[in-house]
Structure formats: C-alpha cells, structure tokens
Structure 1
C-alpha cells in the first residue's frame, strides 16, 4: 500500500503531464484491485479459518485487515477528491470534458438515447430479484447498477441488477458536431460515463415500471488460484480447472458504492455479498477509475510524457538488417553485451537474438524459460519457427504466473503442437528465472550463447519496465545454464554451479556469505560497502544480516521499488543503511547487487529479489558480471539512481517515505538521465559511422 501511495503521488504531482496523471490514477486503482483479489482475500480466508498466529510486527490476520482499512480509506478518498476537484477542471481547460449526464443539452441527450438503443440496449440483461429470481451472481471487478423499480398497478417495489458491460467503452464520446464550442472551436473530446447513459435510459429495460432509484456499485472477489500440484496428474489441466473456478469467482472481498446509496440498499447488498461494513468503500464520484487509462489513447502528445524510442547498443549498430545472424553471434563472441531496457531496444537485442537463432542454420538447439509474455509474442512465434526448422527447442512455460495462466496455457499448447519440448517446471517451485541458451555450431566447435536477464520475455512490458540483460558466450555460463535446464526439464539434484547463483540451491547462502564478507572486512578495520537494487526486500534472515552489517560499519545503500520490511537509520541497529524507492514513468524492475569486497568488486544481476519466495520457493538465476566495462556501467546506473532528487523517496526510520525535492539543486531524474545517455550514445555512434 505504501508503494501504491507513491504511485498515487505521481497523479497528484503537478509536474506530471496531465494525461499521465490520469494514467497513474488508473494504475493506483488496478493495483488496488489486485491487492484485494490476492492479499486481502488471503487475510480474510485466514480469519475465517481461525488463524491467530502473529506476523513479525505482532499482528493477527484480523489486525492486518483493520490496519489496511485504516490506511486505505484516506488514500481512496484523496484519489477521488483529486480527480473530481483538480483533474476534471484541468482536463476541461484543455478541451477534454467528462460530463455528467444531467449537464447535457437536449440534442446531446437525443444522440445518446439513440446510441443506447442501437449499441447498448441489445447487450444488456436486467436481472430481477424476487421469490422466483434469486439474487444474481455479481462477477469480479464488475460495475453494476442497483435499480429499484415500482409496479404502478400493484404499488410494489422490486430490486434489479443491471451489469455495465465491459465489452463497450467505459466513456461514451459525443461526435464533433455535438461538442460544445469553446473559444470558437469544438471541444477536443466530450463524453459521459457508460453507466450514466444506461441509468438515464432504464425505462427501455423496465417498460411499464416506474424507475424509483439507481445506484452504481462495484464488486471485487477472491481471485487467487490455488492448485494442489502433488495431487495433479496433469498440471496444465489442473490450472485450467482452477481458472474456470476463478472465472466463476471466489467470495466477495470488497464493495465500492456511491456515498449516496440509501442504508437499506447498502445493507441488502452487503448481506447478499457476505460483506461487513469494513469491506465497503464509499466513493464520492466515479467508480472504477482504472478505466481512465483509456484517455491515454487521445492524440494529445503535449499532455503526455515525451515519446521515447529505444536505441540500439553501440556494439550492435553496425548490423544492417535482419539477416546478420553470423555478425550478431560474432559480436557476442568478442565480448559480453549488456542491455538496459527500455533505453536499449528489446526487439533489436533480446528478441533479435532469439529470432535469428531460430533462422540460423548453424544453431542446433534453443532452450528458454517463459514466465510472462505478450499475447502476440514474436518470441514464441520464433520458437515455433525454430522447431519447424528442425532445431531442438525446449521451453519451460510457468503456468503458475499469477493472472497470466490462461495466456501461458495458450502458448504452451501452440508450442507443443509445433513440436517444441514444453515442460511446466518443478513441483512446489515457480520458475521465475529469465534465461535463454542457444547451442550453435561455430566452425569446428560447439559454442553456447546465453541471455540472462532481470525481466520477462515480453516485448510490450519491455517498453515500460526497466530491466537488464547479459548476452554472453562464456563457457562457464553456458555450462551452468545447461545444468540448470537439465534441473528444470529432467531429474537432477544439481547442487553446485560454476558462476550462477541459483535459487533455491545456492542463492541464499551465497548472498548471505557476501554480506558477511563485508562485515568481516569492517571488523578487520577495512571498508565494507553494499549497494543493492531490487523490487522488494522482505526476507527476515537477509534483513537481520544487513542489520548486523550496519552495526559492523558496512555502508549500505538499497534501492527498493516496492515493499521494504527493513527500517533504515534506526540508532544502534541500522545507522549505516539508507533506502530509497524510485517511482516514475517506467516501472523499476531490474535487480543489481554490488559488493565492494576490498576493491575486488563483485556485481550481479538477475531475476531474484531478497524475498523468501524468491530465495526458497522459486527457481531464480543471478549471474556475476565479469566484463570491467559492464561493471562500470552498472556502477554508474546505481550512482545515478542514488542521486535522483525528482522521483526518489527516502524511507524513514518510522516507516514513512518522504520524497526528495530538488530545492536549490539541479533536478536529477534518473530515468530522464538514462534516456539522454542512450540518445547521446546513439548520436555519437552515428557520428563515428
């Protein structure tokens, strides 16, 4: 929730472009949806099961739910007030009018009535509630109208539910001739929420009845997917069955309603949904602000972040076309290649590595892991093509990637049909590692080429997530990945690796050992230094070791985007630890681990955070970086992020986050600096060509 509060702040910050502020409001809402579907749902299940065990901070599941409610209510109120009181007027000044139906003129209402009859009415299904019609099932994340109608002949009132269809645009735009003119020009965009169009035409759904009142409400349900792997003969079929159950939906965990809903109707909805007062969030304004993301589709670049086009790394700019497979591999043979997305092109580097391997007649085999990928994945298509070209292709598809299960099942089936060897990982472990192994016949010898990254093989998220990758043909890394794939696809008890840190095998022990090494250096009167960047820091044992390191004098800087259970700056405990979180236009997703080691510096990148699930319950791979130039690049990345004074938040000893302010200093935004550095390197390379 604290991370999501920082996301909300980007929407509140006047320095953020206007449409980007709507985007951050939408992200805040969608993050909350998932939080309730998974985290809150899990806590409610614990309460129902009578679990009373305490967390590390001394809370029962019930205490945690109370804390969530107490923290979240003012955040949600702030979100909606800011949208209604600040952003809507600002949008209007820019010619973007999201109107209330009551504010429309007669001509606009006539248009929307016709639109309703032609486009909306055929899709709707009113559901009555009476002795012969039980209360209808309300699907997860659905926006609905609770309607009270009265029979004019019998004088009896009835309740009905109308679902606002997701298949139609949430905001109905008026055509240009009907947009009110401002300063001689029609508004750039003008429209109303879909639910209001439905609400003001309910007489078409209930002919002969008097519409007494209507109120929007929105339901969130438990959507976590639990699969008993030990009992599943076929994991793919078990996941599919779980998805069917999730679509039907678990128990309701939250209801969002308008603040004006009468108490009797509110109680009826709560009773039918099995909800308590603390599960109800009263909203003064529009429900479901996640739909504001649609406004990012407006052709108004001046109200958005400056468009960013990723560049090619300098080492690859000599490649002229798509058929430079030999040159691509020869570049990797010369030296390790480092990529930093989205500043470096994903399609021109990682995706190209895989697609060219699929076409290259000298490539004998391709092995990779897929955790999340896009719905129209060119990488999956390349793997299918590679199999059709007669290459040995093995892919581990992680079916348990939350909310991507259905997509991954689809791709797994297509890969299998093409002759790809598809496996689903290891029982009780999620395979979260991001690795590719390409086996190629190079002249008289077999050589292995690898990609080890921090992010998913997803071209779409690669444009908005910051991630790192290493392309290499080092013998030891190739041998390690061979062993790791044998562990994933066959029967292997591999317990040691030449270079890789692999969870749950040796990653925890090696990370702990490297922290303790810095402690020992300090105790011997030398310097100790650790810098680590990750998504979340949760693991109690790692945190305890970091506290020990701080007390020994090790200087520690942590860049943790999301959850951080460590408290920095606590006197006598963590005086030498500093923690920042950076929230900007790109989602910080990369992991970097730096250890000073008496000047013999060690730097690692990979897929794992310092969380129990990453260290103990997932297959992860962290690789050392051995190229001196890449080590310098990573050190520079860490230094630039630690100097950020625009989008960096400092974690305080009491758990609060305070955003850094430039004040009299020059504004330094790490993500902007990385974009400028990438553009400068592209210009420099073009000048040298």
Structure 2
C-alpha cells in the first residue's frame, strides 16, 4: 500500500490505533527528557524509562502483531489497516522515535555530563594508568565469563538471549578462499554495565562493551578479525495459555514452560551499531526472517540500551541529584492520633487514600496488625504484583503461623511477574495458606483485601479496595486511590466477590461494586447513556473519567453518542487513547488530556454528573477489551459524602494542572498545555499541600462544560 494511502486510511478512521497511540505516549515521556528545567539525572531517568517502555512494546505489541503475520491470521487495526501495511507504519514510527531519543541523548544530555562531575568514556580517552586498571578488570573479572559461540558448517546457530548486549565477530578463516566465520559473544548480565574509575575531578564510566571490544583479540588468537559489531535483540514475549476450567499444578507447569519459550521467541527487533558487517546482517536477517524495518542502527558514539544508565542515575555520588519527593501527608480522613488504632477508627469512619501523596503505610500496618491480633480470624487478599522483600507477604506468612485462616489469590499471569508470583505463592502454601493461582481463563487484576475480626458477639470485616497493587515500592511512584472501610454493604459485596473468584458462587447484583467480566462494560454504558438522556432533556450532564487506557470500541461509541446528544465529556487518559476527540459531527463535545510527569498516573476515577446527584467510582479497571472480557476487575462506588468530595477534588486538580498536561488533538497528536494567563499548577506538588477537607461540594460541571471543551480545542488546533 502506498504511504499516502496508509496515511489517508488512518485519518479517515474514527478510531486511533492502539499501538500508534502508545508510541505517542512514549513521546510524551521523551518530552520529559527534553525538558531543560529538569535536572540532568531526572532527564536520564526518563530516558531510561522510554527504553524500558519500548522494550516491552516490542516484546508484547509488536510480538503480538507477528503472531498474526507468522501464522497468516487476519488482523485489522483500529486504523483500518491490515497486518503488513500496519507493520510498515508502526516500524516507521518506531524508527523515528528511536532516532529522536538518540539525538536528544547525544545533543542535549551528553554535553551536560562534565559539569555534573562524570563522563562516559571510551578506552582511548583514558590515561595510561586508567587503561591498565581497565585491562586488569578485563583479565580477572570479564574474560573468564566470556564464551565465544561460533556459527559455521560444523556448529549450529546458538540461542542468543533476549535483551542483552552481544558482539558479532566476523573472522577470516581461509585467506585463499576468503571464507568468513561468524562468532557471537554474549556479555554477562551479572556484570555492571560500566566499569568505574575515580579521577580527582570526576567519575569516569567506561562501558563494559568497550573494554571487551578493546581486548577482543584475547578471544581470537592467530585469527584475522574482520569486524566486531555490538547488537541487541528483542524477542516476541507475547504468549497465550491453553486454559482449562481449573488452575492446578499442571497449569503452573504450563506457565513455567511458556516462560522458557519467551527466551526462544521470534526476533522482532535488532539494535545494532551503524555500518555493521553486511555479512553478519545478511546472516541475521535470513536466520530470523526479518528485514530492514526490524533493524535499528545506532551511531557508534551512542549507547545501545539506555536502561544501563540506571547505574549512573542511582550512583551514591549522585544520590542528591534526583528530584526529591516530599514526605507523604496524612489522608484527609485519617488524623495522626488514629494511625496506630486503625481497627477502632475504621469502625467509625471510612478512609480514602491517594498515593503517593498519602503513604501506603496504613494498609500495610493494618495487615501487620491483623497478623498479630488475637481477635483476627482470617484474611483474604488478591495479589497481582508485589514489592521485593514484601511486607505484605511477610504479614500473610505471620498470620498463617499464628493460626489464622489466610486465603490468597496470586495472579500468576501478571506479565513479567509470573515467576516471582509462583515462588511467593509456593512460599505461602508451605506456611499453610490457602493459595489460588488465578482463575480459569481470566486474569485477576482487582485489588482487594478483607480482614475478618471477632469483636464481642459479632464479626467485623475490614475492607481495602483500590486501583493499585499491594506493592510498597511502586506506591511511592504511582498515583493510585483506595478505600478503607468497615461499611457492611461494602463488606457484603467484597465477601460475595471473594466467593465468586475462589468458588463457584453466582451472586445477585452488588450494591456498591461493578465487576468484570460479569457486567462492567454494560453498567458503564448505562451510566453514559443516563448522561445522554439528561442532556436531551435539557438537564445538566457531564462525564469526567481518569484512566490509564481507553481502547474498548463499545465504550468509545457510547462516548460519541453522548457527545452528539450534547454531553460534555472530559477524559484524562495517561497512555493509550483510541477515541478521536473534537471531530465535527462525531466527538465535538469530547476533550482528552494526558498527564505525564514525575509520577506514573495509575489511578482510575469515574465521575458522572447525574443532574447534580453525582456518582463517583474508583477501581482497578481501564476502559479496555481485556479489562471487560478477560480480566476480573472491580469498580467501587464512593458513597461517603466527605470522601466523594475528596475524589471530585482529585479530578478537579487533574483538570486544573497546567504543568504536566498534554492535550490530544483530533489527528491523534498531543501538544503541551500552556495557559500563560493562569498561575502554574502542578498536581504532583499541589496534592502535598492539601490539609483540610473541602467543605463545599465541588461541581465538576464547570470543568467539563461545553465552553471548557471548546477552549481546549482552541488550545490544540489541528494543523492545516
């Protein structure tokens, strides 16, 4: 398909491609790297994040595309493109991103290294004494770990590992016949990426690959080396499971087997030094059935794999260089004097937590208290991702040791955390916990905790439900919301929900929960339609939704219908957004923004105006097909009026931010929100200043009015 036809097809579609939208998101992360007001180390951090993001994108999204291409299965992208034209567009976009990232690094960041007291140097930039040190390090530490693997008529093609640095060395074996041989040397993962040398005035980081390149002759004695080229491969990491009705030992073994296949998945990307050996490139292309679209050439003055920069970013010499996060503040609904007495306090009042501005400590501490409390009878919890050396796991183990009933649903299909969750689950099983490793064909993504405590003649259930994982580390970096309560209606709903996911119960309708895969999509559609009905009647209406991703076509179509009915819709979508805002006759009343900054926006909050009787939900689900059809998710209604005001305040701050916000245009591009007439408002700082609960109701109608939507369209005009 001609490039112009591809572009026209994309523009005509009323949906934005999920994958192209994701690449736009990574550009917004790259924009943080380009921001000269940030410290160099913050900028390096965001550059490393873009690299990590892109690795996962190629493993999963590009890998998924190749699952269709390799097996001749039909796939039509949201843009309307079939597999091969879409592959062409996607890889072109990815090449442009990679080029922009490397130019930013080389032109904007490297010149700042000297002033910050460090440098990344090659061998010829070292002094004679420093070269001797590097030589000694190679001889005693690196050399014993290197294993050359030759590929020729007598040796098969070796299994090259995913996402590690590899040298391809071409040698001449027969001068008369000019025959070449190809040998691979994989750089050990357990060695630091940089060899460090302390000079008087600065710290020198020497890439380990440059030391190996310098000493490559030690591995090829009496052989002519024709070329030495560094490269790195990314393999398809998108696998599916043959799922049965029961998750048992056989299923766990299947997951372990599938994890091994990830190491052998088809190659979808090769990052390689520019001007690499054509002999080697031809061999790799033929071996892996790839072409120039999969080859990402990198200038020899740049690094391959920016994730290695974490060694510099986290170095003890620079520990004060990263932007310091303020200390967490107490939740508005939890006074300081009550933090050590949560069992008593939660019987009187619900608590809304907003991370990382509020610490996750109250949740972890409640769990730890429950493990030791003689009146606690049992604990039930869903776990998706955990921290290293998790206090959550430690508390559950302690509870089991103390004779309490502990039921844990470990989601072993949590991508890239499968092995960790299997190990943690087995550890809990050995301690006597009742462990379930996922539910049938569904991925359990909901975040729930229930503590059952005997208090006199009755039992009180302490409930925690939220949008984020039970991970003490990421709770300091991700924005999330959650609810602590002993309200009997929540307790009943959550108890019923646990019975569903651990047994075969089919409950009646929940009062405060909306769940997937049962009926979440349909209930959200009904809430959107209710706003459209109000708009048609001339009543006040409005929708504000904050989420990570918006991809489900049925939900998007309902937004389009609501827009046509006159409902003003404000969407805050951090990453993927397949809805096309501001298109005449389709989505004129819809505005979309994305917040990308110091914290990863992970909270999900959903507001429906409801003619002044607002409904506000939080929860674990995004508006995606997988969330509705292939995951166990839960949204919870916030009924306490004080907490509802807090949640609405959170949304209003998100809409007010003008420092981290990008406005999405109708063509799918984003521009930075700049309102010169307004005072700077940075939500990643303002939430730390909240000390008093809002007494008066906040009407989000002001923020999602048609006038506000029109103003946003003026801010983000489409190019002529």
Q: TM-score, normalised by structure 2?
A: 0.89
Where does structure 2 lack aligned partners over 5 or more consecutive residues? Answer: 1-22, 694-720
Residue 313 of structure 2: aligned partner: 296
Q: Greater shift after overlay, 334-343 or 350-359?
A: 350-359
Report the alpha carbon displacement of residue 151 of structure 1 after superposing the two structures with TM: 5.5
Is the CA contact 1:425–1:489 (under 8 Å) kept in the aligned structure 2?
A: no
Residue 206 of structure 1: aligned partner: 220
Q: Secondary structure at the match of 1:496?
A: coil
Distance 1:454 1:148, change over 3 A: same
Residue 184 of structure 2: aligned partner: 161
Q: Secondary structure at the match of 2:244?
A: helix
Is the CA contact 2:92–2:293 (under 8 Å) kept in the aligned structure 1?
A: no
Q: Secondary structure at the match of 1:303?
A: coil
Residue 718 of structure 2: aligned partner: none
Structure 1: distance between partners of 2:97 and 2:519: 41
Report the alpha carbon displacement of residue 239 of structure 1 after superposing the two structures with TM: 1.1
Correspondence for 1:171 among 194, 201, 204: 194
Report the alpha carbon displacement of residue 368 of structure 1 after superposing the two structures with TM: 0.6
Correspondence for 1:635 among 633, 648, 651: 648
Residue 312 (str. 1) matches residue 330 (str. 2)? yes
Offset from partner CA, 1:193-249 (integer Å, 9 cap, x none): 1100111011222223343321101111011232101287632222112122223x2
Is the CA contact 2:171–2:224 (under 8 Å) kept in the aligned structure 1?
A: yes
Q: Secondary structure at the match of 1:229?
A: coil
Residue 352 of structure 2: aligned partner: 338
Q: Greater shift after overlay, 296-305 or 358-367?
A: 296-305
Residue 129 of structure 1: aligned partner: 151
Aligned pairs for 1:461-476 within 5 A? 461-476=474-489
Structure 1: distance between partners of 2:582 and 2:343: 48
Residue 55 of structure 1: aligned partner: 77
Is the CA contact 1:37–1:224 (under 8 Å) kept in the aligned structure 2?
A: yes
Residue 686 of structure 1: aligned partner: none
Residue 429 (str. 1) matches residue 442 (str. 2)? yes
Q: How many residues align?
A: 665
Where does structure 1 lack aligned partners over 5 or more consecutive residues? Answer: 682-689
Residue 191 of structure 1: aligned partner: 205
Residue 558 of structure 2: aligned partner: 545
Offset from partner CA, 1:171-200 (integer Å, 9 cap, x none): 1111x2xx2x5xxxx11x212111001110
Report the alpha carbon displacement of residue 384 of structure 1 after superposing the two structures with TM: 1.2
Offset from partner CA, 1:578-629 (integer Å, 9 cap, x none): 1100011110000000111111111110001111111121111111111111
Is the CA contact 2:235–2:262 (under 8 Å) kept in the aligned structure 1?
A: no
Structure 1: distance between partners of 2:159 and 2:104: 33
Aligned pairs for 1:499-538 within 5 A? 499-538=512-551
Is the CA contact 2:170–2:280 (under 8 Å) kept in the aligned structure 1?
A: no
Structure 2: distance between partners of 1:339 and 1:191: 42
Residue 148 of structure 1: aligned partner: 170
Q: Greater shift after overlay, 291-300 or 151-160?
A: 151-160
Correspondence for 1:568 among 573, 581, 584: 581
Q: Secondary structure at the match of 2:663?
A: strand
Residue 392 (str. 1) matches residue 398 (str. 2)? no
Correspondence for 1:229 among 240, 243, 249: 243
Is the CA contact 1:375–1:407 (under 8 Å) kept in the aligned structure 2?
A: no
Is the CA contact 1:315–1:331 (under 8 Å) kept in the aligned structure 2?
A: no
Distance 1:315 1:574, change over 3 A: closer
Report the alpha carbon displacement of residue 294 of structure 1 after superposing the two structures with TM: 2.1
Residue 685 of structure 1: aligned partner: none
Structure 2: distance between partners of 1:300 and 1:230: 51
Report the alpha carbon displacement of residue 277 of structure 1 after superposing the two structures with TM: 1.6
Report the alpha carbon displacement of residue 444 of structure 1 after superposing the two structures with TM: 2.3
Correspondence for 2:571 among 539, 558, 564: 558
Q: Note the aligned Cα RMSD (angstroms).
A: 1.8
Is the CA contact 2:329–2:688 (under 8 Å) kept in the aligned structure 1?
A: no
Report the alpha carbon displacement of residue 156 of structure 1 after superposing the two structures with TM: 5.8
Q: Secondary structure at the match of 1:255?
A: strand
Is the CA contact 1:152–1:209 (under 8 Å) kept in the aligned structure 2?
A: no
Structure 1: distance between partners of 2:124 and 2:627: 52
Structure 2: distance between partners of 1:339 and 1:127: 54
Structure 2: distance between partners of 1:245 and 1:71: 28
Structure 1: distance between partners of 2:107 and 2:128: 26
Structure 2: distance between partners of 1:245 and 1:56: 29
Report the alpha carbon displacement of residue 576 of structure 1 after superposing the two structures with TM: 1.1
Structure 2: distance between partners of 1:99 and 1:663: 42
Residue 378 of structure 2: aligned partner: 365
Residue 241 of structure 1: aligned partner: 257
Structure 2: distance between partners of 1:54 and 1:30: 27
Correspondence for 1:593 among 606, 609, 620: 606
Is the CA contact 1:43–1:62 (under 8 Å) kept in the aligned structure 2?
A: no
Q: Secondary structure at the match of 1:219?
A: strand
Residue 27 of structure 2: aligned partner: 5
Residue 103 (str. 1) matches residue 128 (str. 2)? no
Q: Greater shift after overlay, 624-633 or 470-479?
A: 624-633
Report the alpha carbon displacement of residue 290 of structure 1 after superposing the two structures with TM: 1.6
Offset from partner CA, 1:488-520 (integer Å, 9 cap, x none): 111112242121111111222221111111111
Is the CA contact 1:534–1:590 (under 8 Å) kept in the aligned structure 2?
A: yes
Is the CA contact 1:496–1:506 (under 8 Å) kept in the aligned structure 2?
A: no
Residue 650 (str. 1) matches residue 663 (str. 2)? yes
Offset from partner CA, 1:313-351 (integer Å, 9 cap, x none): 355454488xx4xx21111111110111111111x2111
Structure 2: distance between partners of 1:495 and 1:215: 63
Structure 2: distance between partners of 1:604 and 1:79: 38
Is the CA contact 1:582–1:588 (under 8 Å) kept in the aligned structure 2?
A: yes
Structure 1: distance between partners of 2:303 and 2:571: 38
Offset from partner CA, 1:366-392 (integer Å, 9 cap, x none): 101001112311101111111111111
Is the CA contact 1:3–1:562 (under 8 Å) kept in the aligned structure 2?
A: yes
Q: Secondary structure at the match of 1:462?
A: helix
Distance 1:301 1:344, change over 3 A: same
Is the CA contact 1:316–1:328 (under 8 Å) kept in the aligned structure 2?
A: no
Correspondence for 1:281 among 296, 310, 314: 296
Residue 262 of structure 1: aligned partner: 277
